[in-house]
Structure 1
Amino acid sequence: MTRRGQPIVFFDVDETLITAKSMVSFRNWWEVCHGGDRDWLAKLLRTATGRAEQNRASYRAFAGVPGREFLAAGRRW
């Protein structure tokens, strides 16, 4: 449950709506656009155990990003 006005992030992790892994695709795009770590996925797969931990670690990359900025990035992606 979220409070009114609190942003929510949605990823299609099982390819129900789109054929790409949306979380991976968006994060790759994000890292390229923001001059970030292009090896993030390889590092994540080496250090995080299990899918749930991998997802949490990937989502943490967006902690602190203002909702408005994140929403605009989603539209551009």
Structure 2
Amino acid sequence: MPRTLALRYAELHDRQRAARLSDHALAARMGVSPSTVSRVLSGRTAPGPAVIAGLIDVFGPRALADLVAVVDCDRSRPRHQAAA
């Protein structure tokens, strides 16, 4: 079965809150548009390479495993479902 990345929304929210970053500030630090952050955080779009790279830039490479999970493609669609 094909695999993809799923964002761990709760973990990202916790780290964003701890860093005191608004969605706009997070987008600026990630180097993506605020609309991209909004679409990803709402579950309307999967995190692409620019988002993954931005998360690494903001939270560091060690945080990546906490922020995303590798899942079967059919599990990546539900919005805000906790990734295993």
User: TM-score if structure 1 supplies the norm length?
Assistant: 0.35
Structure with more helix by fraction: 2
Q: Which structure: larger Rg? A: 1
Structure with more strand by fraction: 2
User: TM-score if structure 2 supplies the norm length?
Assistant: 0.33
